[in-house]
Amino acid sequence: MDNFKKKTPGRPNLEYTPIRPHWTGSSKSEVSNYIFGSMKSSMTDVPAQTAAGSTLPLVGMPRDDEESALYNPFEHRKLTHPTSNTETLVHLLKGSLGSGILAMPLAFVNAGLWFGLGATLAIGAICTYCIHILVKCSHLLCRRAQIPSLGFADVAETAFLAGPEGLKKYSRLARFIINLFLVLDLMGCCCIYIVFVATNVKQVVDYYTHSHYDVRYYIVLTLVPLILINLIRKLKYLTPFSMIANVLIGAGVGITLYYIVMDLPDFSERKGIADLHHMPMFFGTVIFALEGIGVVMSLENNMKTPQHFIGCPGVLNTGMTVVVALYAAVGFLGYLKYGDDTKGSVTLNLPVEDM
C-alpha cells in the first residue's frame, strides 16, 4: 500500500506513517489488522531501556528485532498543538481532583482515623504504580508494532494481539470492555459533578435570594457552559479552563481546611480503625476519588515530551503526589474535626452563617 498514512482514531491532528504496515484481512479492527501483521518479534526476554531524562526504565525491546529496537515512537508523533509538561500537569490535576475530595472525611468515618490515612496513601501508591504499568506497556507495544501512540483501549487490544495465540481472538473484546468501562466510569463521574455543582449553586442562590427552585433547573443551567467547553477538542486550548478549575478547587479546599483545623479535638476521641463491615464504603469512595486513570493516555499522547510523563520525578509522580496528599489531608482532618457527624460532603458541615 503506497503512501500509507493513517489517522489515529479519537486523537485529532495526530498522524503517523508506520514502517511496516502488513494487512491480514478485513475482519478485524484497523488496529487489529495492522498489529496482527506487524507483530513478528519475540515477546519473551525483553530487557528494559531507560529514557533520556528519566531514572526509571521506560520500555523494553525484543533483542531479535533490530528494527523495533531502533524505532522511537516519540519521534514519529506529529502533533499540531502538543502540550508542555506544565500544561499536562495542569490537566492531570484537574482530571484527578474533583468532588470526591469533599467526600474523603466520610470515607474516613467508615475506615477509622489511622487506618484510613494509611490505606489512602497505599491506594494512591497502587494507583500511581498501575498508571506507570499502563504507560510503559503502551511505549513497549508502540515499539513492537511500529506505531507512534496508543490509546487506553488500543493498549489492551494490542497486548492481546501480542500475547499467546489463544488470546488473539479476544483482542477486539478486550478493546470493547475497556471502552465500555471508561464510558460508564466517566458518565458516572460527570453525573456526580453536575449534581454537585447544581446543588451548591442552589444552596448559595437560596441563601441570598430566599428562592427555592428545584435543583433540576440548576442542572439544566450547568449544561450550557459544559457543552460550550466540550466543543473545544484540543487539550492545548483547554489548559486555561483546567487552570481556572484547579485554582477554584484549591480555593475551595483551602477555605474548607481553614474551618476544619480550628479547635481540633484530640486524636483519642476518634476511632483508629472502624468496623470491618464499613470498609467497602471506604474503599469505594477512595477509588472513586482517585479515578484519573481514564485521562492518562490522552494526556501522554498529546505531550511535546512524552518521555517526561513517567520517571523521577516526572509529570505523573508530581501530580499524583499532590493529589494523594490533598485527599489524605482532607479526609484525616475532616474526620478528626466532625467525627461521626461528618456529612456526605464536608462542605455541608461548614457554618452556613459564614457563607
The predicted pLDDT at position 44 comes to 38
The Cα 344–Cα 328 span in angstroms is 16
Q: pLDDT truncated to tens, each residue of the chain (355 aa)?
A: 444 444 444 444 443 444 333 333 334 455 555 554 444 443 333 333 333 333 333 344 444 455 666 788 888 888 888 889 999 999 999 888 887 888 999 999 999 999 999 999 999 999 999 999 999 999 999 988 888 989 999 999 999 998 898 899 999 999 999 999 999 988 888 888 888 889 888 988 888 888 888 999 999 998 888 888 888 888 888 888 889 988 988 898 899 999 999 889 999 889 999 989 999 999 998 988 887 788 888 899 999 988 889 888 889 999 999 999 999 999 999 999 999 899 888 888 888 766 5
List the one residue out of 149, 154, 159 whose CA is nearest residue 79: 149
The Cα 48–Cα 61 span in angstroms is 7
Report the DSSP pairing between strands 14-16 and 78-79.
Answer: antiparallel
The predicted pLDDT at position 190 comes to 85
Please give the sequence-ordered ranges of beta strands (E in DSSP) within the chain, or none if there are none: 6-7, 14-16, 48-50, 57-60, 78-79
The predicted pLDDT at position 242 comes to 87
The predicted pLDDT at position 30 comes to 53
* Cα dihedral 235/241/245/246 (nearest 10): 60
Which residues, 6 or more positions from 152, have their beta carbon under 8 angstroms from its beta carbon? 134, 178, 182, 294, 296, 297
CB 50 within 8 A of CB 57: yes
The predicted pLDDT at position 336 comes to 94
